Structure 1
Amino acid sequence: MEVAPETGQRDEVDEIVDQWRQQRPDVSPEPIGVFGRIVRLNIAQRAMLSTVHERHGLTLAAFDVLANLRRSGEPHRKTAGELAESSLLTSGGITFRLDKMEADGLIRRTRSQGDRRVVYAELTELGLAKIDAAFADHLATEERMLELLDPQERAQLVSLMRKLGASIAHSARPAEPSS
């Protein structure tokens, strides 16, 4: 199906919703209109950004860790536990990534002066330069992905996505027992 995204014409998700309406008229497939598009957009966005990250010699996971350290501010360091918490990965998953990034010279591990049991991962000069270059390219790519939306539409989309996030969180709460 030909799609003209700039005009908001029908897309493949509309076709899926129509098929479900025809095959199961007893249920409303409307949520697919939202969540089907979220899934498709996520797949497309990740594919485009993977290309950007690979151009800088990074995986998505390495980019995530380096960006996490970079946005933490000087001295650009966190413990594996702090990285895991702020990136939603396990500390074991972080440790594996840190080992590779340390071998590549992007981070170094340092021990806390106050408690030698605490080990930090911190950006090296190479890591800082790499994440700064990759992040600029990352943002430019995301900007291109949004170019058909004007500033008002972007703000509206952000607001609606924030509200959707709250709605999902609300729906995940246990239902109150009926009396």
Structure 2
Amino acid sequence: MENSTDRALKLFIVLSRASKVISEDAHRLIDKYGLNPTEFAVMELLHHKGKQPIQKIGQKILLRSGSMTYVVDKLEKRGYLERLLCEKDKRVTYISITEKGVELIESIFPEHAKNIEALMSGLDAEEQDAAINLIRKLGLSVRNLS
């Protein structure tokens, strides 16, 4: 019988390997369009949520502010994003997706969503719901440890 440490290590390895395989497959599609996963995440967030303060984008996609600025700079140079100064607080900069960015994300997202659906199809709907709840519970418990 496994002890709690062995079981925890096994779970960590299984989660890590599954995450790596799933991410690599999902990123292959994004790479085809000349984006890296972080760039795609920023554009997807802005497309679905509208303009956001640059700090909030970093928080939502778990990226440090220095890295966030670099990603936004790259996407802005390519014409996919634009910076907008906040009228009420000049210290706040909003990032908005441009029409060119919308066209790109709308050309990628349906295929991306289908790909994710296929990647998750190893579990039926009930198993997916159970996995969502268990992994969320695990993530929240780890956050509470910090």
- Fold equivalence (TM over 0.5): yes
Aligned position for 2:104: 130
Q: Deviations over 1:118-142 (max 9, x none)?
A: 3221100111121222222221111
Deviation at 1:28, TM superposition (A): 4.6
Partner Cα separation in structure 2 for residue 102 and residue 77 of structure 1? 14
Deviation at 1:117, TM superposition (A): 4.0
Amino acid across the alignment from 1:110: L
2:142 is aligned with 1:168: yes
Q: Percent same amino acid among aligned pairs?
A: 26
Selected match of 1:155 from 121, 129, 133: 129
Aligned position for 1:108: 82
2:40 is aligned with 1:63: yes
TM-score, with length taken from structure 2: 0.87
Runs of at least 5 residues in structure 2 that lack an aligned partner in the other structure? none
How many residues align structurally?
146
Partner Cα separation in structure 1 for residue 83 and residue 118 of structure 2? 36
Using a 3 Å threshold, how does the CA distance of structure 1 residues 109 and 148 change in structure 2: closer, same or farther? same
Partner Cα separation in structure 2 for residue 55 and residue 151 of structure 1? 29
Runs of at least 5 residues in structure 1 that lack an aligned partner in the other structure? 1-20, 174-179
Greater per-residue helix proportion: 2
What root-mean-square deviation, in Å, do the aligned CA atoms of Structure 1 and Structure 2 show?
2.2
Question: Residues 1-179 of structure 1 correspond to what in structure 2 (within 5 A)?
Answer: 28-72=5-49, 76-170=50-144, 172-173=145-146
TM-score, with length taken from structure 1: 0.73
Partner Cα separation in structure 2 for residue 79 and residue 163 of structure 1? 29
Structure 1 or 2, whichever has the larger Rg, is 1
Deviation at 1:103, TM superposition (A): 0.8
Using a 3 Å threshold, how does the CA distance of structure 1 residues 127 and 27 change in structure 2: closer, same or farther? closer
Q: Deviations over 1:129-176 (max 9, x none)?
A: 212222222211111112122111111111221222233234x25xxx
Using a 3 Å threshold, how does the CA distance of structure 1 residues 110 and 28 change in structure 2: closer, same or farther? closer
